Amino acid sequence: MSEQPLNPITAPAPVSRTADEATTADPPATGSVTDAPAGDTPVTDTHAADAPEADATTVHASATGSTAADLPADEAAALRAASFERARRLRQEPRFPGGPAADPAGSHHERRIRSFQPRRSRVTTGQQEALERLWPTWGLDIDGKRVLDLDQLFGGLPVVLEIGFGMGEATAQMAADDPGTGILAVDVHTPGQGNLLGLADKAGSTNVRVANGDAVILLREMLAPESLDGLRVYFPDPWPKARHHKRRLIQPEFLDLVAPVLKPGAIVHCATDWEPYAEQMLEVLTAHPRFENTAADGGYAPRPAFRPLTRFEGQGLDKGHVVHDLLFARV
């Protein structure tokens, strides 16, 4: 999920992405297997970018019967550079023609810690079909190259932004229950993007748009001031280890980005089942001058009826987890 802050207001710099510390590279994306909806057969995404590419010097040595050590230094360096360039181009190619881009805002790689880890994983036949058929109409890449016209995108509906929708079941249900509200749903997980598109299509919902990429770039560069009627962040990654707390999404810098694009009175709705993160969310939101708690006692709010109880949330409740909702109004 989703995905984003640390120093999000800093101007983009053409440097490599960073991970745990600002000076080290992110670990490679994993190829985890996701749960397939009933009736869909999981298939392996065999995009070439997912497979390791042999070093060009190794290929050359194999073809000529020599070893890499036999090559002149300048020739070996040139072959390695060509190999790395091919791998870079492959990583930037979309997994599905006309579908979500692998790296939509490549020019915006900047030195900041992200709260999400993009990962490649298996896509079911149903998800792939939905991506190929519906992405050109209902999908968009967060490339940082334009400001979105939400009135045109949603036909004049009020729009709420949802960051991190997982497999999209709750988002699809909220869209079906409230067709008068547009949902701009952001995530980086391709199977979830395809699943949400398929669920919305099956329900006949036309008020969902799926955005692929970094929500910070969306907030900072692609949304007009006071263009959103709400923000939803449900069950973001809690990053439980102390050394990873800086990756948590709900931070003062993130709220600085959110406030200008929300209309006065718009609601920021967060939910988590991780108690320490709930406490941090409450502290950070309460301290921010642009947000006001809607709970009369200044604490957590009851779960509003419009937020569905998901299967995974129900499993957590069965295990004794306590879910906290926070609803703050933009002032």
What are the tens digits of pLDDT across the range 151-171?
A: 999 999 999 999 999 999 999
In Å, how far are 117, 235, 274, 319 from 312, measured between CA atoms?
A: 20, 10, 14, 11
Catalytic residue, candidates 141, 143, 229, 237: 237
Which of 38-47, 280-289, 301-310 shows the highest mean pLDDT?
280-289
237 catalytic residue (yes or no): yes
Radius of gyration of the chain (CA): 21
**Across the chain, what does the average pLDDT equal?**
80
205: Cα separation from own chain's centroid: 22
Is residue 153 within 8 A of residue 160, CB to CB? The reply is: no
Task: Give the pTM.
Answer: 0.70
Residue range 30-50: mean pLDDT, rounded: 36
Beta bridge partners of 262: 228
Q: Supply the pLDDT for residue 252.
A: 97
Both tokens assigned to 289? 């001058």
Instruction: Say if residue 14's pLDDT is above 60.
Output: no
Q: Supply the pLDDT for residue 260.
A: 98
Name the nearest CA neighbour of 193 among 110, 131, 147. Answer: 131
Place 185 in a pLDDT band, splitting at 50, 70 and 90: very high
**Between 105 and 328, whose confidence is greater?**
328
Q: What are the start-end ranges of the H helices in the chain?
A: 56-64, 73-92, 125-138, 150-154, 169-177, 190-203, 215-221, 252-261, 275-287, 311-318
Residue range 279-306: mean pLDDT, rounded: 97
Place 34 in a pLDDT band, splitting at 50, 70 and 90: very low
For the stretch 84-126, pLDDT in tens is 766 555 554 445 666 788 777 675 656 565 555 555 568 899 9
Q: State the Cα–Cα distance between residues 214 and 186, nearest whole angstrom.
A: 8
Is residue 271 within 8 A of residue 307, CB to CB? The reply is: yes
Place 220 in a pLDDT band, splitting at 50, 70 and 90: very high
- Coil/strand/helix, residue 209: strand
Q: Supply the pLDDT for residue 65.
A: 52
Is residue 250 within 8 A of residue 284, CB to CB? The reply is: yes
Q: Supply the pLDDT for residue 58.
A: 47
List of residues 6+ apart from 310 with CB closer than 8 A: 169, 170
Instruction: Say if residue 312's pLDDT is above 80.
Output: no
Instruction: Say if residue 308's pLDDT is above 70.
Output: yes
Query: Which residues in 239-260 are b (16+ Cβ under 10 Å) and which e?
Result: beeeeeeebbbbbebbbebbbb
Given its phi and psi angles, is residue 214 left (phi above 0), alpha (psi -120 to 50 degrees) or beta? beta
Residue range 243-271: mean pLDDT, rounded: 96
